[in-house]
Structure 1
Amino acid sequence: MMFFSRLAWSPEMIIVGRLLVGFNCGLYTGLSPLYLSEIATTNIRGALGVLHQLFIVSGILLSQILGFPEIFGNSQHWDLLLGLTVVPCLIQLLVMPWNPESPRYLLITKQQTDAARKALQRLRATDDVEEDMKEMTREAQKNAEEPKISIWQLFTIKSLRMPLIISIVMQLSQQLSGINAIFYYSANLFQAAGLEESVAMHATSGVGAIMVAMTLVTLPLMDRVGRRTLHLIGLGGMFIFSILITVCLTLKDVVTWMNMASIVVSLMYVVFFAVGPGSIPWLIIAELFSQGPRPAALSISVLVNWVANFCVGYAFPHMQKGLENYSFVPFTILLALFWIFTFVFLPETKNKTFDEISTIWRKHREPDTNRNKEPYLVSYSTEHS
């Protein structure tokens, strides 16, 4: 529809096409990390989850390059640029039938033990999948004791309330960190720093290239350093460089080299985003919930993520106009708050099975027989240690 809109002289076709693309983006941003987390072994689940973010940022970089005026970003070829959306769709349609269904879904949700075993054997490339089957069976037994979880029940069941709050805050820490201000308006920021319009437009691809490179660096670190640690490092680095962005913007008319310094600190801001907030929020949601409530939790998280994305994209130009050189100060404050929340409440999920992670939250509603059935409380700091 977007490609043929030019032939039909119909801007409405572009609008409808974009709506359809947006609808599917909403689905895939939830389904992809969900599927990857369910097919991965415990020791590589973090790295496999980062692949989701790696190909997102790779797509951003490719689209930035294809959008250069000398390629497709011009009045002659813009319809080809929009029409290229069909290529990844065709690739996906061709390869998806060869992908096995999620073994956890088959065993825990559909109770199809044989099908789950066959899917695991295909994924692991071995017939010896008994350890995986035992781990999923234990989760299935505990899942069978709980009723099917709806989106509304996530807010009402005590043991699910905290992981849901963490999931929402993690998504907000990604989108309200200010990274989209860099992505959407990096050309404007670079022009404000003194670059010519054509140079600033090409410099935006540097943001995408850094994201790809740093996401590759994060792959081996995710299952060694841990999700919580990397997220804290990422938020902390972004907090420091968001302050430096404000300093550079404030002094750019006073100190000449501050123009180039603002570009450098903006790129470092992107580096620390890729270390943690870029990929971990999607990965951590799939880990915090057992099979039953996981889809509903992901639905809420995807909604929060895209609404926050829209709000930043809509509000930042007005923030630039109203706050001028101090437009990143609100992001600095939010980054500090997100760092504190992560430090206090987020447990480490590295090398833990889904059942071990969900047990953390079950403890909050289990009775303590030594205290006349008063709620048994577990401090988050103890879980961290």
Structure 2
Amino acid sequence: MSCCRFRRFSQSQESISRFFAYLLQIRCLLLTIFAACVGGTFQYGFNLTIINAPTFFVQQFINETWSERFSSQLESWTITLLWTIIVAAFSIGGLVGALIAGPMAITFGRRNSLLLNNVFVLIGALLMGLSRTAKSFEIIIIGRFFAGINSGVGFNINPMYLGESSPKEIRGTVALSFAPFTAAGLVVGQTIGLGEVLGSEELWPLLLASCGVPALIQLILLPWCPESPRYLLIDKKDKESCMKALRRLQGNGDITAELEQMLAEQTVLESQRAKRLWELFQDRAYRWQLIIIFVLASAVDFSGNDTIYSYAVYVFRAAGISEANIPYLTIGTGCCEFITSLISNLLIDRIGRRLLLIGGYGLMAAWGICFTISLSLQDKISWMPFLSMACIFASILSFGIGPAGVSTVIPMEICDQKARPAAFMIYGSLFWINFFLVGMTFPFLVEGLGSFCYLPFLLFSTFTAIFIGFTLPETKGKTFLEISQKFHTLNFGTQLYKFLKANWREQK
């Protein structure tokens, strides 16, 4: 027995040693992941939440500024309107960022686009930080708009850059690493927004300007990381630089197989140039890729995850949670998404993309039904608010399992090098438009449907889970060329029902 235990202990020690040796080997790739994400999707999550804490102080500042200028008080509806414009400016900026991300990625490359993108958020941080000194609430609107542009560009280019810089065996894990950083941005934004940190009357301009810190970190670290090897080889036709980038990213690993796959992809795409936005819609070769992108980009918002965050405060109050403790529970919801994003990151290259998406949306639909029932009985049964709280946390956990991150990995994998920037423009634009629409219409849904306000969201989650189950091929462990061939069969090959039947058999 003692010999067996010693042998198992020795094997365990060897496994740990090999693991740390591998991490040391790919240290440049790890640095690339951190540097890209901290100034990429982290900014999206961070800017999304830092605006919540100073709501009252900014509204008070708007009224005081107006009063000093015109010696009159604003009506409450006007203050609310101006505050809504400040919040909406971020979404409008995000849409602009999504539209310029494609041309930036083609012209400047993936890494350099992320570096240039920091200009937008630094301008926004400076404007918001000086708003009280300048006695101008208008520059908060402009600052939020610039922060939104930064988030829109980062949300598109960050996963594209990481997916193109990783070996196919761990492509899902590397590309999906943006999701935990997004969730971390949410949590950090919620935390520093607490009154004990920067969410006070004196420090709220500093809170809004703090988005400049991740930008500075990226500007320091990202220049040490290589450009996307695929961009260098296929777009720039620079084989030598591509090989150097591969060696840096994979350490002492053998780059032969990876380089051969990229050269094969280059041969297929050699006579083509980067696709423009309208060319994707005209080209039959991308018909089903676009349909899948449309569904996934819509489902991220129409699954109701963002709205459940807004409803959380109401449910917490109904459960008897004191106002002082609600911000801490809200941080707990962000932590839930962070934990499940990490778990999803570890599972994506083991169990695949489809199962994570189907499971995530299926669970969200189930919890949506439970949440609707609990809201209907909220005032009739004393313990129902606690069931509603459980549904909120369970729904957020389900969203983090797959939909939160895997939905953004799919456009990167199902579109080839020449179509990828334009495909992300479509995905990003739809995401920001739907984000804005859901935010604007949700209060009316609550007013019109009451406790059944989540019915449209759970129905859309159910539809998405079924759609993915029938149409999305598994991309785990496949090269970009193999994925393209799979979609070529779907777009040009046999009838749709034959493809769906073959795809279903393959997954089983």
TM-score scaled by length of structure 1: 0.95
Matching of residue 196 in structure 1 with residue 196 in structure 2: no
In the TM superposition, 1:193-342 aligns within 5 A as: 193-342=319-468
Question: Does the CA contact (< 8 Å) of 1:363 and 1:377 recur in 2?
Answer: no
Shift of 1:377: 8.7
**1:120 maps to what in 2?**
246
Q: CA deviation at 1:25?
A: 0.5
Identity within the alignment, %:
34
Structure 1 residues 328, 306: closer, same or farther in 2, change over 3 A?
A: same
Q: Work out the CA distance in 1 between the residues paired with 2:275 and 2:500.
A: 24
Pairs within 5 Å for 1:91-240 = 91-126=217-252, 128-240=254-366
Residue pair 2:198, 2:207 contacting (<8 A) in 1 also: yes
Give deviations 1:178-201, integer Å, cap 9, x for gaps. Answer: 000023442233224443322223
From the superposition, tell whether residues 4 and 185 of structure 1 become closer, same or farther in structure 2 (CA, over 3 Å).
Answer: farther
C-alpha deviations, 1:232-270, integer Å up to 9, x for none? Answer: 000110000000011111111111011111001110001
How many Å separate the matches in 1 of 2:240 and 2:293?
Answer: 33
How many equivalent residue pairs? 379
Asked whether the 8 Å contact 1:187–1:203 carries over to 2, the reply is no
Partner residue, 2:131 = 5
Unmatched 5+ stretches in structure 2: 1-126
Q: Which segments of structure 1 move beyond 3 Å, counting only runs of 4 or more?
A: 145-148, 364-368, 375-378
Partner of 2:74: none
Deviations 1:93-152, CA, capped at 9 Å, x for gaps: 111111100000000011001010111011011273111111000001111244542111
Pairwise CA distance, 1:314: 1.5
> CA offsets per residue over residues 50-90 of structure 1, 9 Å max, x none?
21011010010010111112222221211111111111010
Q: 18-27 or 200-209, which moves further after superposition?
A: 200-209
1:157-211 superposed Cα distances (whole Å, 9 cap, x missing partner): 1120111110121111111100000234422332244433222232111110101
1:336-362 Cα offsets, whole Å, 9 max, x none, are 111121111111111111110011122
Partner residue of 2:205? 79
Cα distance change on mapping 1:144 and 1:376 into 2, 3 Å: farther
For each residue in 1:271-305, what CA deviation from the matched residue of structure 2 results, as whole angstroms up to 9, or x when unmatched?
Answer: 11001101111111100011010110011100001
Contact 2:287–2:491 (8 Å) recurs in 1: no
Structure 1 distance, partners of 2:285, 2:163, is 21
CA 1:367–1:195: 2 relative to 1, 3 Å:
closer
Q: Structure 1 unaligned runs (5+)?
A: 369-374
Deviation at 1:226, TM superposition (A): 0.5
Secondary structure of 1:111 counterpart: coil
Larger Rg: 2
**CA gap 1:379/1:81 in 2 versus in 1, 3 angstroms:** same
Q: Distance in 2 between matches of 1:141 and 1:184?
A: 50
User: Using the alignment, how far apart are the partners of 1:165 and 1:12 within structure 2?
Assistant: 39
Alignment pair present for 1:18 and 2:144: yes
Secondary structure of 1:279's match?
Answer: helix
Correspondence for 1:371: none
The 2-side partners of 1:4 and 1:367 are apart by: 59
2:499 matches 1:379 = yes
Match of 1:69 in 2: 195
